Structures are given as structure tokens and as C-alpha cells.
Structure 1
């Protein structure tokens, strides 16, 4: 027997449960089935520390670990850090028999799932079954662990041939790997052969996924619907059905499928995230904000934790409030944002992430949404003052939040210039938020009218029609009161008019007021240089 697959009496087991009584009960049960090398942990942190120091063969993890990380989040963390060896058997246990809890546990694909209370015979049978599968398909799981797709395909073929009881598992994994390698046509043929012998929901799902990749959307929809008739709780089939509908432009149907999937499996991060993205693109901010709020809570202790969810939630709240035409939603925005910030503050402060700057950006966006444009603008620029000279060095999350704030503020040109710094592989939710904000009807209408007026002002100025140019810039600033470029253009025209009209007091006062709007704001280098020159010119004219 390979050293990677120890004999039963050599198995090292890690038991993770917050209750000492369960530890005592399981110790007796484990001794009775021949396992004596047992290590105990009462929390996810303690379990992770043990795994960093030692290697285990069996992981018995309770889903509910009390405050902090739950069993699902611990398992995701152990897998990400590759602390579960290829031969390792994972058994998840839970005392909660609700559908949401069961599906959440099964979504992680543990080797076995047990409901409390369970008998010694049940445990023994499930453990033996899981160990047998890992031992018989050890080379397959080793290739999967290494990410060696070529060997994995060979081992799937070998496993399906040599171990008929695992044939469906091996064939479906083979199809998934072929799809990953952009060989969807081979996956389609393989699954059709499998289904010719016997209908199977996993094969139906894999076939639907292969058809989706091949652009055969009607066929994909047909197979995925058949899959759901066989197994109505197969949530991943809803996901690919939604993707197929999206590919056909049936966005309403896609959102409905994702909502159904999330209702069935509310603990699924990737399904909730996809629902948020689709809802945002459809402009359904009511659904998007609720889903994003649940994502913040769902991921706060997991490897999926990201400030992008909080940033997207705040932006969605803002878009919802702006499009509702209801002053209540604008007035309530500060309270909702403060509550959301408090949910993540304790887990983000002290990490490598610059939480203080992020929080300041979020608060700036609230002030802008409430109409406190000058206050919000100062907060936004000050949060970024360390990167104004080199915005390419700004952390991606802060860059995204800044771009959102700038579009909301009406600093359209500056926002466009920064958006080019976002990498192509940046967080999809972040880029979706930015795109939705750019194309939101209230933002777009304001931007289009502002740009039209600003361009008319520039043309009038170049033609020497200063009074007309001033009128256009005034109106442009009415549309986008915090736009730095339009303010600088207006100052430039006023300086020309002051020079021609021998220090007209009205122009003088208006110029001074406009200059004061930019005073104390740490502008970017190009804006700051132009502002400094215009301010100095105004000072000279006054003397």
C-alpha cells in the first residue's frame, strides 16, 4: 500500500467540534472502529493551526462551530492552503437537517455527510466507503490535487474501466476536465454515450455545460431542464441554465433561475454573487442590494471575504436611492452604510487591506449621494492623496471605489482616465458596478448634458465668445456641480472677462467663489497645476 494511503490502524484523524461532549462520544466510537490517533480542535483557528503543523488522513468537521468561521468556511480554507492530502477523507457532520444547511454542506463535495445523531455502524459504514473510494482512485485524486489535467484524464478513463462502481463519477469528472481544457465537443460526446445507457442528473448537467461552451444554447437548456426534472435541488444546473438564458438575451429568465437557486441554497457564495451581478446589469437594484448585504454576512469569516461586496452594496444602495425618487432612501443611506461598514470593520482592520482609506471613500460617496458635494469631494480626494501623483500604484479595491465615487460626483473625465488602470482580470463584480454606474440612466443623462454644455463652452471660448462660453460653463456646472474641469474652464473665462471689463465686481466675486470651491482639495497633478496658475492670475488681476 502506498505511503499516501495508510492502513486503518495508522489513520490520523482530526475532529473539529465546539462541544466537548461530542469529542468524548466520538473518542469512544473511534476507538471501537480501530482509530486511536485522534487530534481534537474546538474552533476553525485551532484546527488550521494543527493542520499547519501536522498531516491528517481523516477530517471529521462539524458544520456549526459557534462564533466565527463555520465548518464550511474552515474546509474552504484548508483546501485553499492545500492542507488536505489527496488521500484525505473529509466527513462533514451537522445537527441541522434543514435543506439549506444540507445543500450548503454538499456543495463543498465532502467525501461523506452525516446528520447528528448517528450510530457507530453508520459512521463505520460511511468511513469505510469513503476510504475505499480514495484508495481505489488514489492516482486520480493525486492528479487532481497537482492540477495535472493530462494525467487526470488518463486516471478518469482508468478508474471508470477498472472500478465500475465509480464509473459515473469518473466520467463526469472527465467531462468537467475536458470542458476546462476547451475540449467541449469531446465532453459532449462522452456524456451522450453515458446517457445512452442510463439517465443521470450529473451527466445531464455536464452535457448542458458542454453544449453551453459550444454555443448550443437551446440544447444546453433542454439538458439542464431535464437535469432539474430528475434532481430539482441540483443548484449548479440552475446556474448554467441562467448562463444559457443570458447568452440568448433572456435576462429576466436568467435572473429568475438564479433567484430560485439562491432560495434553495442561500449559503452558496458564487450563486449569490452571480445573482448580484445579473441584477445589477438589469438595473434591479432592489434585488441586488439585498443579495449583496447577505453576501457581506455570508463571507465575513471566509476566504471569499472581500471589500468589493461592501463597495458594490454601497453603490447599489446609492443607485437604488437615486432612481427611487424617494427622499427617504437618500436620508436613510448614511445609516445603512454605517451598519454595513460595522459588519466588516472587525475583520478588515489590522489586515493588509487599507480599511481606513476604504471607509473614507465609502463615507465620501454617501455625502455625494446626499447632495453634500463639496464635503464628499474633499473626503474622496483626501482618501486618495497618497496616490494622486501615481494613481497606478493605488490598491485595486481603492481604485475601483474611487472611480465609482468620481462618476457619482460628476468628475467624468478623471474617472475615465483612472478606469484604464484597472486590469482586465479585475474583480467582475467591481467592473460590473462601474459599468452599471456609467450607464445608469440618471448618471448617463447628467453626463451627456454636462459634456454637451462643456464642449459648447470650449468652442465658444475658442471663438472669443466669452459671455456665451461663461453661460455654457455655468450650466455645465449646474449639471455637474463638483466637476473640476468645468470649474477650471469657468475660472479661465471669468479671468478673461475680468481683464476685458476692468475688474467687473460681479465677475470678480464669481471667480473668487469658484476658486474657493477648489481650495483645500488635493487635486491630481494636472488639475492642481492648472488651478495654481489660474489662482495666481486672479491674484495678480486683483492688484
Structure 2
């Protein structure tokens, strides 16, 4: 793919290739005339994001003019996200988002995708020429910086910024300092970023550098200082959405939970189409067990990411998890009864997109349906569906796609299969566990007030049963295991423990008590035979079957 061509200073647009993507024929005609009048004669015009994807996979351009609203389907912001993700944009190309919608939410949503500039229709030919010229000059002046950014090499970006800052007349000095600080933060060097920004702010006040300083303080654990810096940034620039996000994180870290919620709510009022804000609101709401707000935020996020590269099975799983927790906590039979419909709707909306990938959608869908059955009280059916869904991965759980693995762990925790859930969660990658939403979903499944109480009581009873068994108190152990199963009726480990105790007791009692124990043991064995188990559980069950077969029926 060719990189941006050089041009003479007196003819800045010479040989520059332009791609205009807009679905309005009248605007296409007007823009082509404007571009030719300012000296841009190599203009390609397309009407849809789909056409742009195909064309950009074969050809590169120097200037991309992308309309935000492209009719039905993918919008301009989502197209830009795709082109970046697919690395189809040359390092020195300039990208403009263009829109006729001047609403604040639309503008902020477009700016969140970080184009080189944003232009509101209508605009004059002189405005277009000046803005294009300014964007191209910045790319050329900081060519080394943007090439390093394209290669995703933070250390190279830092070096390029440092080199650019040696020029005392560099008009982009503040940009370079902010970018350098951002790269230092990515490289986990917050102290260096902090010192750089403090020095820069002594020379000139900048809301962008102030925001970066707030981020550095947050990462250094200086949460109160971070809040103060970020408050100053939003005082100077009230529409700086990213500063609100970091302020909320710092407030949460400083245990100012109510203030964090107020910060996020204010930010969402300013920028209701910000996916990052809705993601953070969902995380915070989930931590506070506000499942209504969590599911509503994720529902909005799913809609915002429609046709987006960010619409992943993990995002779908997070949303379904919140739907289930909300239904369980609502204490309203309607929400439990309506859960199946809501989950089916969510799965259907994402089905076509996920089926085109290598992701095991069929297994994922079955895990989600299993969790619905558990929420509705049918634990036996839910358990059978859950184990069947991931039976092909039981021997090698590390082969499971991350989204399927995390959803299976959530299902096992909901079912009460705590030991098996721990085994599978250990197979999740560090990158998956580092995802704040994944981490929060797993935490909510373990510490949710309803589930945690059941889990804690189960753990206590099961451990007491094991201790009693080891001490030879079999009748006492049986009572503990029975009670543990009342707390977690589908727990395989407790059921296996109970069978082991029953087999031991069967040799001690006469016919009247022996018959009762024999039938209880047989019924528990049959219940476990009806479900697919992992290798460890199946091996232990086979051993108990062999021991039981050697007993005479009382």
C-alpha cells in the first residue's frame, strides 16, 4: 500500500488522492467541485461504508472525507473504527468526519473516534481548503510521530515526540507533550509522565495536559490529586468527555461512589452517544448491584456498536449476564418470565454478525439458554444444557474462545458448581481478566448478595461435611452434604461427596435404614449419570458406581 505522496510547498494538494464517502448525490457533486477548485483533482466518490471497505482494501488515499450518516447500516464513525482496526489508513493520511447534524451528542460522538478534524455542513470552499491544509501540514511536520503511531510502537512515539520538542518553534509542542505522556502511561511509566506534564504546565496551562496529569496521578494512586486536576480540566473544557471518565474512576478509587455516579451521569447527559461512557456506567452500576442501570447502559452500548468492530460476543455475554442478574433481583415474576424473550432478542440481534466469524456461536447460545433455565428455577435442565454446550472443550478448556469460557464460568457460578468454575476461570487469559467489564461480571457472580450468601453457606456446609467424614462421623457428614445440596442443588462435588458417605453408611445399618440410604444413593447416582461431567468428575463417579455395584441391596 502506497504512503502519502510528497507535494511542493507552493502546491500543497498536488497529486493528493481524495476518497469522499457520502450517500447524498447533491453533496457529492458539490464537494467534487469544491475539491477540484482548491487543486484536488484525484477524487474517488463512494456512497456506502461497504463500498469503502472494499475499495480501501485495494487502494489507499491521502485524504478521507467520511460523512457520519451513511443511511442504513454502518455509519462513518464505525467505518473509521474498522479502517483503523484493519490498518487500512496510511500513517500520513488525514481523515475528516463530515456531518449535517450539529447536535452536541453527534459532534462529541464523532470526535470520540479521533478524526484529524470534524466539519459541519454547510461549509465554504475556503474553510475546506484551510482545514485540509492545516491537517496535512501537521501530518507532514510530525511525520515521524505519526509513522511510529501507525506501527503501534510507544517507545518510538516517545522518541519521535522528544525529537520534535527540540525545535523551540514547534507549533505542535503541546500535542507532542500530551502524546508523549500518553505513551509513557501505556508503557506503565506514570511517574515520568507526571514529571513531564508538571514541567509543561509550569510554562503554559492546557486542559489536555491537565487531563493527562489527572490520569497519571490516578495511575500513581494519588486519587484525590487526580480528581482535582480532572475537575480543573472540565472547568476549562466542559465538553471534555474523557476527563469525566477518568474523574469517575478516581472518585471510585477514593471511595467517593456517589460522586462517581454523578460524574458519569453528567457526562452521559453531555455525550449520550459515547460508548466509552456507557461501558463505564455499566461497570460501576454492576459493582453497586444496580442491575437495572447496568443492563440499560449495556443495551445502549449494544445499539451504539451496531455494525461496529466492537460488537463482540463478550459484549453480548456481558449484557445477558446483567439481564439475568436484574431478573433474579427484581422479585417480580414478570421479569423472570420475560427473561427468555429478552435473551432470545439479544442473541438474534447479534447472530448474523457472530456466525460470520470463527467463534463457536452455537455453544455460546446454548450456555446463555442454560443460564435462562437456571434463572427460571429449572436447575436440572440448565445443568444438562450447560455441560452439553462445552463438552467438546472439557478435555482442553484452554481451547475455548474467551467469551465462551467466561460465559461458562458465569453459568457454573450461577448453577452452584463453584469448584469447577474455579478450574475454568484459571484458564482465562490475563488479557481477558484485565478487561474491566469481564472482571466485574465475574466479581458480580461471586459477590452478588443473593449468590454470595448461597455460595458462602454452601462452602461452609461442604467443608464441615468433609471434616466430619475425615473424622469418621458419617451421619453428621451426610447431614452437612444434604444441607449443602439444598443451598446448591446442582453442585456435582457435594453430590459426589454425599454418595461416598452413603456407600460407607450402607455397610453399617440394618435393613430398615439401609433401604432408605440405598435408594438415596441410587437416585443421586442416576441424577449425575444424566448430565455430562468433566473428566475429573466422571472418573470419580465411575469409581463410586463400582463401589455401589459391589453392595447388596438391603
TM > 0.5 fold call = yes
Tell me what 1:513 maps to. 523
1:522 alignment counterpart: 532
User: Which of 481, 484, 491 matches 2:492?
Assistant: 484
Matched, 1:501 2:507: no
Match of 1:405 in 2: 411
The aligned counterpart of 1:86 is: 91
SS of 1:226's equivalent in the other structure is helix
Report 1:115-130 matches (<5 A): 115-130=120-135
> Which residue does the alignment assign to 2:74?
69
Which residue, out of 444, 449, 457, partners 1:449?
A: 457
Shift of 1:303: 1.9
Counterpart for residue 47 of structure 2: 42
Equivalent of residue 301 in structure 1, options 285, 307, 312: 307
1:11 aligns with 2:16: yes
Q: Could you report, residue by residue, the CA deviation over 1:249-300 in whole angstroms, capped at 9, with x for unpaired residues?
A: 2233223322322332233333322222222222222221111112222223
Q: Deviations over 1:211-242 (max 9, x none)?
A: 33333333222221111111111011111212
Q: Structure 1 stretch 61-70 or stretch 389-398: which is displaced more?
A: 389-398
Distance of 2:156 and 2:527 partners within structure 1: 65
Question: What SS does the corresponding residue of 2:14 show, helix, strand or coil?
Answer: helix
- 518-527 vs 493-502, which deviates more? 493-502
- Which runs of structure 2 are paired with 1:248-259 in the superposition (5 Å)? 248-259=254-265
Note closer, same or farther for the CA distance 1:413–1:3 as it changes in structure 2 (3 Å cut): closer
User: The residue matched to 1:13 in structure 2 has which SS?
Assistant: strand
TM-score (norm 2): 0.91
Is 1:265 the counterpart of 2:265? The answer is no
Whether the 8 Å CA contact 1:179–1:210 is kept in 2: the answer is yes
Which region of structure 1 is more displaced relative to structure 2, 207-216 or 182-191? 182-191
Matched-pair contact (CA < 8 Å) for 2:4–2:93 = no
Q: 1:285 to 1:414 in 2, by over 3 A?
A: same
**Cα offset, 1:438, TM superposition:** 0.8
Q: Which residue of 2 aligns with 1:144?
A: 149
Are 1:290 and 2:290 matched, yes or no?
no
Judge conservation of contact 2:380–2:490 (CA < 8 Å) in 1.
yes
Alignment of 1:439 with 2:447, yes or no, is yes
Check the 8 A contact 1:300/1:347 in 2, yes or no. Answer: no
The alpha-carbon deviation at position 422 of structure 1 amounts to 1.4
Report what 2:337 is aligned to. 331
What residue ranges of structure 1 are gaps of 5+ in the alignment?
Answer: none
Q: 1:323 to 1:72 in 2, by over 3 A?
A: same
Aligned residues: 542
Which residue is equivalent to 1:342? Answer: 348
Report Cα offsets for 1:165-223 as digits up to 9, x if no partner. Answer: 43332332233234334444443344344434443221221222233333333322222
Q: How far, CA to CA, are the matches of 1:3 and 1:397 in structure 2?
A: 39
Normalising to structure 1: TM-score of the pair? 0.93
C-alpha separation in 2, matches of 1:402 and 1:515: 24
Alignment of 1:102-501 (within 5 A): 102-157=107-162, 159-160=164-165, 161=167, 163-426=169-432, 427-499=435-507, 500-501=509-510
Contact 1:5 1:87 in 2 (8 A): no
Q: Is residue 96 of structure 1 aligned with residue 101 of structure 2?
A: yes
Structure 2: 5+ residue runs without aligned partners?
none
